[in-house]
Amino acid sequence: MPDGDVLFYEKFFDRPESDVLYKVLRAHIGWQQDTIKVYGKSHPLPRLTAWYGDFGKSYTYSGIPMRPHPWSPELLKIKQRIEAKAGVAFSSVLLNLYRTGQDSVSWHRDDELELGKNPIIGSVSFGETRVFQLRHLTRKDLHKVDIPLTHGSFLLMRGPTQHHWEHQIPKTSRAVKPRINLTFRVIR
């Protein structure tokens, strides 16, 4: 990908391990329904979210200030595994729960100021496969990139990616089971 640095590991966590992590996260994460304000009107986000991380690293996501829950043992286990691969220390994780095909996240970049100049995003998925799409911000000659984020997969975005590429998880009319995504971040 021009202007991007994206790595994908399809079976980063094996099947039995992924099955257990999905169940534990589904049951024990403090999932919440957040709202976003558009032109002064509040709308529920089309997914549930939760924010975990190092004490004191608070973060604003889509205008929502988030105070992290402390790390849980299973989150620390996942974090350590991907840190060994990525060679960075993540300080926080935003979790998303897509309950049905109608849950989604629309086009955006993870370019919040707190993430520094070239944000490193480590993205782990469990449960239903959903398509992760990337599109270049200005170069219309480049095709969209579709990456099916499978159960137990790990996607690493780094370098200039967040400057030049937007990403989304589109809605789907297929009957799909829930999916959990964890995006680990480094808050400066």
Ligand X SMILES: O=C(O)CCC(=O)C(=O)O
Instruction: Give the binding site for ligand X (CB under 6 A).
Output: 94, 96, 105, 110, 123, 132, 149, 167, 169, 181, 183
103 binds Mn ion (CB under 5 A): no
User: 41: Cβ–Cβ under 8 A, 6 or more apart, which residues?
Assistant: none
User: Residue 134 binds which one of Mn ion, ligand X, none, with CB within 5 to 8 A depending on kind?
Assistant: none
CB 47 → ligand X: shortest distance, Å? 8
Instruction: Name the minimum Å distance from CB 14 to Mn ion.
Output: 26
Residues 44-83 that bind Mn ion (CB under 5 A): none
| CB nearer to Mn ion: pick between 34 and 110 | 110
Rounded to the nearest 5 degrees, what angle is found at the Cα of 93, between the Cα atoms of 72 and 180?
85
- Ranked by CB distance to ligand X, the top (closest) residue is 181
* Shortest Å distance, C-beta 59 to ligand X: 11
**Residue selected from 110, 120, 165, 185 as contacting Mn ion according to rule CB under 5 A:** 110
* Residue 94, contacted partner among Mn ion, ligand X, none, CB below 5-8 A by kind: ligand X
Q: Residue 123 region, left (φ>0) first, then alpha (ψ -120 to 50), else beta?
A: beta
Residue 40 or residue 174: which is nearer to ligand X going by CB? 174
* Candidate ranges 37-45, 64-72, 109-117, 169-177; the one touching Mn ion (CB under 5 A): 109-117
Footprint on this chain of Mn ion (rule: CB under 5 A): 110
